[in-house]
Each structure stands twice: as C-alpha cells, then as structure tokens.
Structure 1
C-alpha cells in the first residue's frame, strides 16, 4: 500500500505526466537502440530499464491506493505505442505494428509491470520500513534477474555475442545495486534492501524464464522491453 500520509497529486496531473513520460520513454528507447554503442544499446532494450519508468512515476505519485499503479501502467502502455510510432517515423517500419499482436502482447506486459513497479515505486518512498525495503529491493532485483538471464544466454551465441552478453550483464547488475544504494533513505534500508534483492532476483529470474526471456532472441525479434 502506498503512503497515504503524503500529499495527493491531482489526477489530471498524474495522467499528463504518465502520458508524456510514456511518449518520451518509447521514442528515446528506439533512438538509443540505434545510436548507442554496445553494450550500452542493450540497456535500451532492457525490461529492467523500462521497469524503472514505472517505478519512478510510482515514487513520484507516492500517495493513494491505486494511483501509482495506474500511472505506471499508463506510462508503459503509452511507451510501447510510442516505440512503434518512433520506429515508423525514424526507420520507416510498418505503421500497422502499432496494432499488431506483438504490440498487444507487449502492452499486456506493460500493464503487469506498470502495476507491480508503480506500486513498488510508491512503497520505496513509504514511511514504513518494510515497504521501503521491499520497494527498493524489487527495482534492484529486476536488474539482477535480467543480468542472470543474460548470463544464461551467453553460451548460446558466438564469441562476440558472448562478450556482449557478459558486458551487458555486468552493467545491468551494477545498475541494480547502484539504484538501491542511491535511492535508500538510510544505511539500514540499504543493507536490508540489498539482502532482500537476492531472493527477489531469483523469483524474477524464474519469471523471466517462464515468460520465454531465458533463451536467446533472434535480432528480428528484439522488441520494446
């Protein structure tokens, strides 16, 4: 439950920020994939990085029983469509991708991730110790679990692919730990969140595997998050 002692932001403002944030996330993701060198370009195609968007807006909203989850969901769903629209404008992809089955699948994932990480973002700013710990642990854990997925994939490709996956895994894990250290309000919360991130990362790895992220994807199947 988010911290209801915090000031409640006006719903029109929450919705506007979520829409603008989603438009920016999708477009920046597409451009970053095209322009950044590897392994940094891989982060643009990272589920964990997209989860940070929902987490951040949930932390900003903070108050209310459902507002953080809704804000995270709107942001990620809009981001999926913004990604495909940017792909149409920048690299002449088919505009029908906006309403393709793949787009709807990723929007469904966006709803799930938006609810989960929007709520965890609000928890991270809660006055409750355990909510703050779990909220921060969750955002660190999603990076650690994605790093584990990359490590599992690395033997499946050639030498270049293996080196790229290992480098991305190292960067991803470092970001997860850094987020916990930077966002925690005290050292007690930092230590507790780091400890809690380990079992949560194991759960996240299982979830990624069940969702089909554990195997290597051909280049043409790389999609928003």
Structure 2
C-alpha cells in the first residue's frame, strides 16, 4: 500500500513537471536540442525512468507511467496558456486527447519496461530487452527523421543535426542505465529489432 501511495503522488507530480518543462524547453531552447521537446520518444524515456527508479510492482509501474504522461499533456498546454496566452481549450481539444491516448500506450509499455529492467527475478534476456527500450525508441525516431531527408519541406542540415542528437541521446541513455559494462553490447544489439518495431509503430501513429 505504501508503494501504491507513493506512485499516486510521484506520477502526477512528475507528469506536471514534465509537461511544464517540456513547453519551456520548446519555447526557449534552440534547435536541434529544442526539437526534443516535440519528441514522443523523450516522453517514453521519461516514463521508463520513472519506473526504473522506483520500486513499484509491474501493474503499479505501468499505471503510474501512463498517469504521468496523461497528466503531462494538459500541463503542457496549461503552461502554453500561462506563458504565451494560448487558448485554454487546447487542454481538452482533439489534439490533446490524441496525445493523451498515445501517452497511455507509451506509459503502459515503457512503464512496464522500467519495472522489468530492475527486477532481479526476471530472466536476463528480458531485463536486457527492457533496458534496450529507451535507446530503441530514440533510434526509431531518428530513423523517421532520416526518412525526411530530401523532402523540400525540411532542411537537410537541421534534420542531420537532430538525428545526431537523437542517436547520441539513445546511446548515452543506454550506457547510463545498463549497470554492467559487459551487458551494454547485448542491450544495444537487442535495441536493433526494437528500433524496427518502434519505427513501424511510430509510422502508424502518423509521425512519419
């Protein structure tokens, strides 16, 4: 019960923080780093880290991560309303609802992944696959951006810069969260098929 209460406090608090800071990041941080504020992959990584760093059960972790991302959406639009006087209806319009639905899906998957990654009783292969999730989703977004190179609607230089940021962030995150050096190569290898799966799923959501 104590763990469940902590999740009920931590998930909304971090969701509020994520949404507000995400808007501030987009508004004030220049590209290519500012592009991370519009990244669903970054939000997925936030959900993963939430449950990796807290000792909650698998169901509680999945629910907490989903709650975090759902709360982050209206928090983002509320920050936009306060800071740049956007319409308050953005908090609950169709676009916000879509992002909240995506937040539920990403939260369930990556929240469960964060919980599995730290479970000593889980099979090693499963834990390593879970550790590969953050890098894989960042790499998948990088692949999406690579697919836009040559499109006259996008600047090639900007795309290359942003792809580089995503890849470096994916590699860095993987190295930081993988506890043993001898496991890192295996985790990165497992990220390859997960990247392909993530690319397919992101394409289905319309991010392509």
The two structures have a TM-score, normalised by structure 1, of: 0.87
**Aligned residue in 1 for 2:133:** 138
**Aligned residue in 2 for 1:201:** 195
The two structures have a TM-score, normalised by structure 2, of: 0.94
Q: Which is further off, 128-137 or 75-84?
A: 128-137
**Aligned residue in 2 for 1:82:** 75
Contact 2:32 2:158 in 1 (8 A): yes
Report the number of matched residues. Answer: 206
Deviation at 1:211, TM superposition (A): 1.3
Q: Describe the shift of the 1:10–1:36 C-alpha distance in structure 2 as closer, same or farther (beyond 3 A).
A: same
**Aligned residue in 1 for 2:61:** 68
Contact 2:136 2:170 in 1 (8 A): yes
**Aligned residue in 1 for 2:3:** 10
2:160 maps to 1:187: no
| Aligned alpha-carbon RMSD (Å) | 1.4
Contact 2:3 2:55 in 1 (8 A): no
Deviation at 1:157, TM superposition (A): 3.0
Q: How far, CA to CA, are the matches of 2:56 and 2:23 in structure 1?
A: 32
Contact 1:62 1:123 in 2 (8 A): no
**Aligned residue in 1 for 2:101:** 108
Deviation at 1:9, TM superposition (A): 5.1
SS at match of 1:177: helix
> Which segments of 5 or more consecutive residues in structure 2 lack a partner in the other structure?
none
Q: How far, CA to CA, are the matches of 1:62 and 1:109 in structure 2?
A: 25
**1:13-42 CA distance string (max 9 Å, x none):** 111111110001001110111101110100
Q: 1:149 aligns with which of 131, 144, 151?
A: 144
Structure 1 stretches of 4+ with a deviation exceeding 4 A read: none
Deviation at 1:209, TM superposition (A): 1.2
Deviation at 1:131, TM superposition (A): 2.5
**1:30-60 CA distance string (max 9 Å, x none):** 0111101110100111111111111011112
